[in-house]
Amino acid sequence: MRDITFAKGHGTRNDFVVFTDQAGMLDLEPVEVRFLCDRRGGVGADGLLRAVRGKHIAEWEGDPDVWFMDYRNADGSIAEMCGNGVRVFVRYLYESGLVNEREVTIGTRAGARHAVLLPDDRVRVGMGPVRLHEGLLGPTVPITVLDGALVERTWDAQPVDVGNPHAVAFTDDIGVLDLTRQPLWPAGEFPLGVNAEFVRVHNEGHVGMRVYERGVGETESCGTGTVAVAAASAARLGLEIGAEERRIRVDVPGGAVVVGLSRPESDGPLMATLTGPAQLVFRGKIVIPDLG
């Protein structure tokens, strides 16, 4: 049994429990993460963010003194990256006095990420490279979900890597999909699971999406998912991406964010930024019982 002092925050209603672990002594077990994220028996969240120095993360090879975002899905599994989580994490560091500047670099399992708290209290994050690639069976991967009438429907989804895996499918019927169940894909594809996004294109600068996040279920927003969707939409529409950033608004059930896409070097990777709100809504203390 131990106490955790925490904050609760969200980015476009993708919500998180956040806490500080200065000494690296609170590496929670999956069952403890599930307890904290439980919406009836715990605090309730889509995921958990532990603020810990990089030197306490075995696989981190960067600055040992950097604040590292140790991210866990609601089911207790480790995830490489979370775009909404990064924004909430930076807001937490700043409002908790753990950083004093409005620009900060943090560590994640997808690499270092640079963030800026903007004057309007949104947070802009450099999301690093975005890579569209092929599945094992071809350029796209079939993703199957049920619609509201419990009829199976299948789309060819574009695999996208944003430091974590995504599969982006395009349809005008995103409102009728039943995302209470995990989408299905062929055996062998996405062995670590995948975040599945379903997208409606309004125009070349504006899309809407819903998402089923691995380890969580349907969420009201997924930051890395919005980046994957913007990149896949730009490719689908044949948009030219050069050194000047092209911005795409992505609507999610929890609000809207702006994804910036650029290719600083003509033969280099596609790079992305993500800008959107991040709020802390309350702080508290909770006792984690003996769950063994």
* Per-residue model confidence as pLDDT tens digits over 187-220: 889 998 999 999 999 999 999 999 999 989 999 9
The predicted model scores a pTM of 0.93
Domain that holds residue 43: 2-119+279-288
Same domain for 95 and 220, yes or no, is: no
**What 3-state class would DSSP assign to 136?**
coil
Whether residue 239 is contained in a domain is answered as yes
Candidate list 160, 222, 230, 274, residue with the active-site label: 222
- Is 166 exposed, middle or buried, given 0-12, 13-18 or 19+ CB atoms closer than 10 A? buried
* 104 plus 238 within the same structural domain: no
135 with 263, same domain: the answer is yes
143, 245: one domain:
yes
The burial of 25, by beta-carbon neighbours within 10 Å (0-12 exposed, 13-18 middle, 19 or more buried), is given as exposed
Instruction: Say whether both 141 and 110 belong to one domain.
Output: no
The SS3 of residue 276 is: strand
CATH code at 98?
3.10.310.10
- Please state, in angstroms and rounded to a whole number, the distance separating the CA atoms of residues 110 and 272: 14
Q: Please count the structural domains in the chain.
A: 2
Domain assignment present for residue 232? The answer is yes
* Nearest CA-CA partner of 21 in 102, 75, 92: 92
pLDDT for the residue 149? 63
Closest CA to 259 of 210, 211, 223: 223
Q: Report how far residue 58's alpha carbon sits from residue 38's, in angstroms, rounded to the nearest whole number.
A: 28
Say what the pLDDT of residue 134 is. 82
Is residue 284 annotated as involved in ligand binding?
Answer: no
Query: How many CB atoms sit inside 10 A of residue 257's CB?
Result: 25
Residue 184, CB-side half-sphere exposure with 13 Å CA sphere: 8
Residue 243 inside a domain? The answer is yes
Instruction: Check whether 203 is labelled as a binding-site residue.
Output: no
The answer to whether residue 53 sits within a structural domain is yes
Q: Which among 51, 82, 179, 272 is annotated as catalytic?
A: 82
Q: What is the structure's pLDDT at 148?
A: 66
| Shared-domain flag, residues 238 and 283 | no
- Segments of the chain with pLDDT less than 70: 147-149
Which of 226, 270, 274 has the alpha carbon at shortest distance from 131? 270
Is 48 found in the same domain as 35?
A: yes
Helix H, strand E, coil C: the string for 173-240 is CHHHEECCCCCECCCCCCCCCCEEEEEEEEECCEEEEEEEECCCEEECCCHHHHHHHHHHHHHHHCCC
254 in the same domain as 153: yes
Annotation says 37 is catalytic: no
Looking at the fold, whether 97 and 155 belong to one and the same domain comes out as no
What are the distances in angstroms from CA 151 to CA 17, 140, 186, 199? Answer: 36, 22, 18, 19
Other C-beta atoms within 10 Å of 173: how many? 12
52 lies in a domain? Answer: yes
Catalytic residue check, 82: yes
Report whether 100 belongs to an annotated binding site.
Answer: no
Q: Rounded to whole angstroms, how far apart are CA atoms 144 and 217?
A: 15
Residue 266: the pLDDT is: 85
Residue 275 marked in a binding site:
no
Tell whether 195 is in a known binding site.
Answer: yes
pLDDT digits (tens, 9 = 90+) for 8-42: 999 999 999 999 999 999 999 999 999 999 999 99
